[in-house]
Amino acid sequence: DADVTQTPRNRITKTGKRIMLECSQTKGHDRMYWYRQDPGLGLQLIYYSFDVKDINKGEISDGYSVSRQAQAKFSLSLESAIPNQTALYFCATSASGKSTDTQYFGPGTRLTVL
């Protein structure tokens, strides 16, 4: 879905470095999510945000932080990257409301920590 974009698409970094992954959306959705995907483990929720002032931890938030700079932008940071954070990271968006549960995913960022 071209309405949800992520940068960078690929990143190789070293242990201990600070990394920021960015997500932008033009869907006008108020809710945004960050997931991590590892082989055989599905998608695990890292953080989610219902609006600019509402940030919530997901299942695996340790070692990560987020910033919701605007309704359309949600960034994920690794303050000090470690090798087991090597994974595929997806941003997703959804709209609040009873009949609008669908989440739309960005193209993903493949992160390798050496």
Q: Which residue lies nearer to other proteins by CB, 63 or 108?
A: 108
CA distance 68 to 48: 10
CA distance 23 to 47: 13
Place of tokens 């695996």: 60
Asked if 47 touches other proteins (CB under 8 A), the answer is no
User: From the CB of 6, what's the least distance to other proteins, in Å?
Assistant: 9
In the shown chain, the binding pattern of residues 6 to 35 toward other proteins, with x for contact by CB under 8 A and - for none, equals -------------------------x-x--
Number of H helices, E strands in the chain: 0, 11
Residues that bind other proteins in the complex, under the rule CB under 8 A: 1, 31, 33, 40-45, 48, 56, 58-59, 90, 94-98, 100-108
